Every structure is written in C-alpha cells, then in structure tokens.
C-alpha cells in the first residue's frame, strides 16, 4: 500500500467534527497504526516470519476487533459488525469470546486483503466516534482507554514483528531511510547508589494503568547500586570476544541449553563481516555503534552477561524505586529513530540515565501477581493475569514504544528465550 492510499484511508475514518478529548485521542492513536503501514506493500503486511510474530495486516485487524468486541457490540445500540467471520479470525487469545484462528497460521490468511482490513478499521472508527459523540458511560469510556493502550502495544509489535520479517529477506530491505546518527564518544559506566528501606511499588495515582500494575504495595529493599547507563553494543562485544557464549559457568542451565540448541553466538540480528560486527535495523544493515545500548538479547543472555561483568540484573522493585522522580523522557517511537541511541548527556547528581526509551531492560523478577491482585471479571480479565507464568519482567520502554504509553510502573513481560523485542540490559549489584 502506498502512502497516498494510506492517507486516504486514514482520512476516511475522521468525521468532520468530534466532541471531547477521548474522541481526539482515539483518532490520533488509530491514525498512528495506519501510518505505520504507509511504507509497506500489501505483501509486506501479509507475511508472518515466525509463530511468535504476526502480520501487520493481522495487527491492524485485531486492534479493530478489540474495539468492536469489547466496546461497540455491548455499548453501541444497533451496531452491525463489519463481517461476522472476523470474530474468530482476529481473536487473539480470549477464550471467553470463543474460537480463534491458530496463531502460527496468521500468515496464511491471504483474505481479507489489506484494503478490506482498512475498510474494517474505517467502519469501526465511524461507529466508535459516533458512540462518543452521543456520550458514553464510565464503563465504556474505561474500555475505550484500555483499547487505546492495547493498540499502542500493537504499534510496538508491528515494528518488532516487521523487523524480524524484513531481516529474513536476503535483500535486507529498509523500512525507513537511514537516520542521521553520528559517531559519539564513550560514556563511562558508573554506579548510582540507592539506600534500602520500605518502598511503595505499583500504580496508585491518577491516569491509566494496566491491572498488573496494581494494587500498590510495600516491599523491603536492601541497599543496592544501579548502573548509570544500559550495557552497550561495545560492552557486549567484549563479552563475546571473551568466549561468553562458550562458557557454561556463566549461564543458567536452561540458558546454556538454549544457546547450544539454537547455536547462538551473538544477539539477534548481529553478523560478522571481515571481523567486524554488523546488525540489521529498520533502516537496513549498519555496523554496530559500540556506544549505543545493546538490544535483542534474551533474559538468558542478559543474566549471563551480568555474571561475566561481576554484577546481576536488578529486581523490578529496585528498578521502579530507582526510577521514582526520573523524567519520563527518552528515545521513543515518536522520535522516528527506531533504534537505540547513545546517552543524551551525563548522569546528574549520580542519577542513572536512559531509564526510559531506547531498550526494555530485563529484570530478575518473575512475572507474577502483586499481593491482593484480582483480574477483571469476564473476558477482559484474560488481558494480563493468565500469562503470569514462566516469564520475566522488563521495564522502561524502548525506541519503538509510544511515548504516551510508558510510565515507571509499567510491567512488560516475555519468556526468557525471547529476543525479537528491543530488550537490553542494565546492571545492578549489592552493597556491603
């Protein structure tokens, strides 16, 4: 789909007038998703490169399905679904809703075509904005807000899944032209001290949060230190050069088994050319910049690197406590760089930098419910709670996270072998 076609379809979703900030925000978020498909062909949008990823077309359809299923069907009187078959086709994992098309086979769905999916989006958008213009109950407004943050999650997934897809093409296609990134000097790694004590963890203020960020509760922290910046490409290259992938004493048993069975010898997307490391980005192939945060490493790799460096990964509670009061600013999707950048300035007063944006930071915390956590009733309760098993928490957002989507209490989670996400490393160590 070319850019003019995308702009026409996005414009078709926007009525001449809307009432209220929620309607404006709805149209803005939905427009971003459509724009992400602008540089892509219909063929790009239909392919699935691995079972854990989904085609761009599916993401665009599923996010519309979410609003249709959870907002329009129960709250818009007389709403007529765009296509009843989409109830199954674009259902992701909601068992309470009914049948689902198998996730590994989403790339086999050549129909509906991309134009039909955009028509589906326009149908849903028109009905949703009309509902907002007539006024909605607080329950429906809360579901719309949840749907917008859900869509922002899928905007990030569109870019991460697309990067994996394009990397599998021997032509190494470019999604966006190369960014104007100049080589920079090294930023020495320092350590920021944090005292122990009882700290409040979790979301309890105004504004949106997912249910897995609640309820706020207290934890006891021992004194610790957090690295002033994330681990860089250059840092990780030293780990590789020191035989890091061949030293079982550095790895968890399951991690070393994974390294051997999958023949890992470097982070995802890295390859050597004439003894130098290169990496695939959404701007094409580029030589690694040793001073930018390393990304696309699994929990296993992050944990092994921390052992090699004589440190450890922080707990999610240490990370959240350390980020309290830090500005929620960084290199996000909105900046259009779509790749980690070096630190923007030195740490101030011993505070760590790049806590937000650039790379998601693995923690040593298993993804589990907070004390007194209760999932929501009904199908919407399947959103987070049922995944609290065999996964680890990441914090801080990345270069493909929408800026308005992240906060200090946000808990991302992935299995320990996952590395197609923009996941990186920040070290921690004990004091005393």
State mean pLDDT over 285-297.
95
Asked if pLDDT for residue 187 goes beyond 90, the answer is: no
- The mean pLDDT of 154-162, rounded to a whole number, is 98
Q: Average pLDDT, stretch 342-357?
A: 78
Q: What is the DSSP string of 65-126?
A: HHHIIIIIHHHSTT---S-TTHHHHT--S-TTT-----GGGGGG---S-HHHHHHHHHHHHH
User: In the structure encoding, which two tokens stand for residue 251, read together?
Assistant: 């790895």
**CB of 407 closer than 8 Å to CB of 209:** yes
Looking at per-residue pLDDT, the higher value among 328 and 159 belongs to: 159
Q: What count of other Cβ atoms lies within 10 Å of the Cβ of residue 20?
A: 14
Instruction: Write down the pLDDT at residue 376.
Output: 83
Instruction: Give CA angle at 327 (226, 397), nearest 5°.
Output: 70
Tens of pLDDT, residue by residue over 378-413, are 888 888 889 999 999 999 999 999 999 999 999 999
Question: Whole-number mean pLDDT of the chain?
Answer: 92
CA R_g for the chain: 22
| pLDDT over 70 at 163, yes or no | yes
Phi, psi of 164 (to 5 degrees): -65, -40
Token pair listed for 273: 């050319």
pLDDT on residue 382: 81
Tell me the pLDDT tens digit for each residue of 86-95: 999 999 999 8
Task: Give the span between the Cα atoms of 41 and 389, in whole angstroms.
Answer: 37
Query: What was the pLDDT predicted at 184?
Result: 66
pLDDT at 186: 75
User: Would you say residue 152 has pLDDT above 50?
Assistant: yes
Q: What is the average per-residue pLDDT within 252-281?
A: 97
pLDDT at 178: 73
Q: Please, which pLDDT band fits residue 100 given cuts at 50, 70 and 90?
A: very high
């Amino acid at each position: 789909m070319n850019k003019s076609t995308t702009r026409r379809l996005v414009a078709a979703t926007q009525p001449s007038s809307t009432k209220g900030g929620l309607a404006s925000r709805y149209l803005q978020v939905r427009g971003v998703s459509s724009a992400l498909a602008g540089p892509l062909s219909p063929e790009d949008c239909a392919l699935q490169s691995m079972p854990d990823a989904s085609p761009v077309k599916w993401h665009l359809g599923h996010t519309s399905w979410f609003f249709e299923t959870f907002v329009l069907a129960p709250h818009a009187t007389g709403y007529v679904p765009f296509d009843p078959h989409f109830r199954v086709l674009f259902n992701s994992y909601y068992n309470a809703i009914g049948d689902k098309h198998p996730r590994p086979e989403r790339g086999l769905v050549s129909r509906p075509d991309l134009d039909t999916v955009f028509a589906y989006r326009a149908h849903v958008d028109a009905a949703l904005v009309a509902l907002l213009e007539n006024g909605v109950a607080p329950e429906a407004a809360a579901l719309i807000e949840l749907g917008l943050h859900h869509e922002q999650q899928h905007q990030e997934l569109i870019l991460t899944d697309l990067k994996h897809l394009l990397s599998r093409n021997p032509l190494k296609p470019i999604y966006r032209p190369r960014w104007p990134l100049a080589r920079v000097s090294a930023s020495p790694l320092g350590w920021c001290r944090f005292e122990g004590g009882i700290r409040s963890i979790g979301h309890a203020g105004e504004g949106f949060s997912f249910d897995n960020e609640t309820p706020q509760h207290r934890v006891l922290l021992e004194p610790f230190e957090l690295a002033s910046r994330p681990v860089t490409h250059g840092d990780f290259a030293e780990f590789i050069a020191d035989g890091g992938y061949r030293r079982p004493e550095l790895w968890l048993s399951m991690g070393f088994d994974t390294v051997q069975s999958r023949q890992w010898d470097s982070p995802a997307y890295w390859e050597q050319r004439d003894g130098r490391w290169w990496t695939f980005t959404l701007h094409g192939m580029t030589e690694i910049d040793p001073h930018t945060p390393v990304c696309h490493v699994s929990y296993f790799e992050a944990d092994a690197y921390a052992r090699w460096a004589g440190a450890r990964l922080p707990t999610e509670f240490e990370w959240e406590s350390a980020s309290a009061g830090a500005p929620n600013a960084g290199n996000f999707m909105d900046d259009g760089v779509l790749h980690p950048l070096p630190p923007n300035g030195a740490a101030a007063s011993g505070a760590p930098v790049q806590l937000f944006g650039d790379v998601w930071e693995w923690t040593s915390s298993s993804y589990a419910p907070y004390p007194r956590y209760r999932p929501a009733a009904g199908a919407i309760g399947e959103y987070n709670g049922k995944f609290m098993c065999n996964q680890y928490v990441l914090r801080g957002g990345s270069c493909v996270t929408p800026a308005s989507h992240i906060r200090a209490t946000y808990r991302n989670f992935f299995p320990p072998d996952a590395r197609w996400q923009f996941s990186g490393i920040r070290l921690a160590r004990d004091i005393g």
